[in-house]
Structure 1
Amino acid sequence: MQLLLQLTIIILATKIAGHLSVYLKQPAVLGELIVGIIIGPALLGWIPNSDLIHQLSEIGVILLMFIAGLETDLASLRSNAKSSSAVAVGGILFPLGFGFIAGMALGMNMAHAIFLGLILSATSVSITVQTLKEMKQLHTRESITILGAAVLDDVLVIVLLAFVMSFIGGGDQNVFLVIGEKVLFFATILLISWKGVPLAMRVLGKLNVSEPLISAALVLCFIYAYYAELLGVAGIIGAFIAGATIGQTKFRKIIEQKAEPIAYGVFVPIFFVSIGLNVSFSGIGQQMIFIVVLSLLAIGTKLVGAGTGAYLTGFDLHGSIKVGAGMISRGEVALILAKLGLDAHLLAERYFTPLILVVMVTTLVTPPLLKILFNKGKIKVGAA
């Protein structure tokens, strides 16, 4: 019964907060993120950071990325592959390098400094996707590039994590096995998607039961997400590929219309709130300088690194900054890395909570920044 009350608070609070955010000319997702901090353990304590809420939030982010996949134009994604690759690489090298330097400056040993850089290298575009979707900008060249870069970023960061855990302690992962798993995932998933998904949708869609099409689509979404997790790729990547594949079939419109009420009615609000549940203000006064400096570093290195990759592959200055801004949010990916680092003794406990707050800052700053950049004309560079 307690869960029912918690769900009532979450859904009502996120919808009211989202409405107020739009009223203040900000993306609704910004209000939904902030309200998670308010009703969570950091302030009011109405919603606990429980395992059940976490599991429901995982469904929310998977459905969010599934819907993003449905709305993605694969031809545009392929045509922007070069830009996406450059953005992903730039968006990893800059945070990794400067994060390492910052760690060494803080007195960390080399292993801990490398891991700090690795945490800052992660990207989570779920918040970016929702913001762009609200603004009806999900089909722009910048947005397509961001989505492609996010997929590659996830794979590269996981491979780098395997190197770190193997060579500087904290794990016994075989690097070649990790890379092999990623190759296996993409090879098999693309093969299955080519013929298997259209066939599965046609066969399961004919079942004499209620809502067979959306049920078939959700089965594929969850199977893809599970298979991705099984081979060490983030589940949201599997969900995105499932959505993109179904989006190429004749069922796209009907699946999109039926999936959105399920996602945005219950599960996506839980995901937004769950991010705020990780925040704790206990003892942050003593580490405020660390939080501010690292937040600026996290924002700046993604903005410049990913933006440089975009600029070098044909984007103008304004478009490059848009792409860089879309890669800023660290979200749940960085949270997972931070927890792994803590468990493997590659991240000192005193840095864990401040890093969670840094992740929150990058997540909160992304929606309003994207709104400013996508709603304004090209940035005017001063005359020489």
Structure 2
Amino acid sequence: MHEAGEILLTLFTVLLAAGIGRVISLRLNIPFVVGEILTGVAIGPSVLGLVHESEFLRVLSELGAVFLLFTVGLETDVREMIKVGFPAVLAGTLGVVFPFAGGFAFARQFGSNFIEAAFLGTALVATSVGITSKVLLELDALKERYSRVILGAAVLDDILAMLLLAGVLGLKAGGISAGEVLVPLLTALLFVAIFMFGIPLLLKRFLSERKRIEFVQSPILPVITFLFGLSALSTYIGLAAIIGAFLAGLTVSELREYYRIEEEVAPIYALFSPFFFVFIGLQLDIRIFLRPETLTLIVLITILAIVTKFAGASLGAFTLGRQEATIIGAGMVPRGEVGILVAGLGLNLKVISMDVFGIVVAMSILTTLTTPPVLACLINKLREKQERVPAATR
């Protein structure tokens, strides 16, 4: 088949699968993300074999994640995020410490060497905020306090994961200096501080005086240019592209009073976001579940990943009350593409085996699949409680 024809057929298959996944999700009353991931598994190499992993799909998946987090940033108020600074920092920090310590201890207990155990611990650390963000968007919950804590904690989570990964890679190379850890850490913190707080607040002040920025025809081209630029810059300083996308959304959100940015971005987001979730499903090889010893390890690692992340993040947010802390803990659970990325790096460096890589991939996807319905249930329960309280006081 002609190369252009193959690409178009792949696009058709993925988008059709995503659409079918959404219909199934609607019928079963579960979040769309679950249906899209499961249809990704179905059309992937381990079931129907209609679509295989490729660099082309990987790029589209990354674009889907970028537009997803940009949309989340657009819906987020910087001033409201500042108000939840302490619980977000504590939830993010404990949400890193607990999974890393748990993963490291587990691997050592099962005979892994120090470096392999450190890689497994690091793979359990970073939250895939894209999964949780999708659920929060679907439930129109992005303006809630717990959502702002999750987003703030996830940004810190990514920075600390980068620091841990740098440390583990340094150990693999035979040593690491304080400067090799501190310089990238401080650079990442400065980058986040400037674009999370500094630039949006300066733009707000500028707009309050000028009222409007004049664009030729539409602001969408300069906005997307800024989005791609900041996402790329984020990767160059060691963070995920989605962190830069989220920060770009925070900055551009200051233009919402003057331009219909969300309406113009929505069709682009709707086109690319399915590739992100379907691609996650494509990466799961269900044959890994056929070996009893591997299946046992997958179950144990997945339980460990859920319990340690939930315990750390919810404990960090305890000052917000039990129900909100529970939502925050659940929202930080999915690992998604981040855990797969770390495990893939370990496999390429021959630090972890193919079996361990497969286990981490399965864990990442299982935590991604289990989180959305649980998170939706917890949020709906909190809303029901909040609706009953005012009714009881009338």
Q: Does the alignment reach a TM-score above 0.5?
A: yes
Alignment of 1:302-381 (within 5 A): 302-311=309-318, 314-377=319-382
1:278 aligns with 2:283: yes
Q: Which amino acid aligns with 1:179?
A: L
1:246/1:252 contact within 8 Å kept: no
Name the SS of the counterpart of 1:282 in structure 2: helix
Structure 2 partner of 1:235: 241
Deviation per CA, 1:168-206: give whole Å up to 9, x if none: 43787922332243145336546555557978x966x52
Could you tell me how far apart the structure 1 residues matched to 2:350 and 2:110 are? 17
CA displacement 1:247-280 (0-9 Å, x = unmatched): 122457611011011111x210111111111111
Tell me if the contact between 1:181 and 1:232 (Cα under 8 Å) persists in the aligned partners: no
> AA paired with 1:244?
L
Question: 3-state DSSP class of the match of 2:238?
Answer: coil
Moved over 6 A (4+): 170-173, 196-199
Indicate the SS of the match to 1:248: helix
- Residues 250 and 136 (structure 1), Cα distance of their counterparts in 2 relative to 1, 3 Å cut: closer
Contact 2:288 2:358 survives alignment (8 Å): no
Deviations along 1:227-257, whole A, 9 cap, x unmatched?
1111111111111111111112245761101
> What is residue 226 of structure 2 aligned with on the other side?
220
Q: How many residues align?
A: 373
Q: What's the CA shift for 1:352?
A: 0.8
Give the alignment partner of residue 62 of structure 1, picking from 46, 61, 66: 66
Q: Which residue of 2 is the match for residue 7 of structure 1?
A: 11
Q: Which residue of 2 aligns with 1:176?
A: 182
Give TM-score scaled by structure 2 length.
Answer: 0.89
Aligned AA (2:136): L
Structure 2 distance, partners of 1:100, 1:143, is 29
Q: What does 1:128-277 correspond to in 2, within 5 Å?
A: 128-169=132-173, 174-186=180-192, 189=195, 195=202, 205-207=214-216, 209=217, 212-250=218-256, 254-264=260-270, 266-277=271-282
The reply on whether 1:47 has 2:62 as its aligned counterpart is no
What's the RMSD between the two structures over aligned residues?
A: 2.4
* Residue identity matched to 1:365: T
Structure 2 unaligned blocks of 5 or more: 386-394
Work out the CA distance in 1 between the residues paired with 2:314 and 2:340.
23
Q: Which runs of 5+ in 1 are unaligned?
A: none
Contact in 2 for aligned 1:170/1:345 (Cα 8 Å)? no
Rounded Cα–Cα distance in structure 1 between residues aligned with 2:59 and 2:155: 22
**Structure with the largest fraction of helix:** 2
| Matches of 2:174 and 2:320, distance apart in 1 | 40
Decide whether aligned partners of structure 1 residues 172 and 217 sit closer, same or farther in structure 2, where only a CA change above 3 A counts. Answer: same
1:115–1:164: 8 Å Cα contact kept in structure 2? Answer: yes
Q: Identity rate of aligned residues, in percent? A: 36
Q: Offset of 1:353 from its aligned partner?
A: 1.0
> Contact conserved, 1:170 with 1:346, CA < 8 A, in 2?
no
Corresponding residue SS for 1:247: helix
Identify the match of residue 84 of structure 2 among 77, 80, 85: 80
- 1:282 offset after TM fit, Å? 3.0
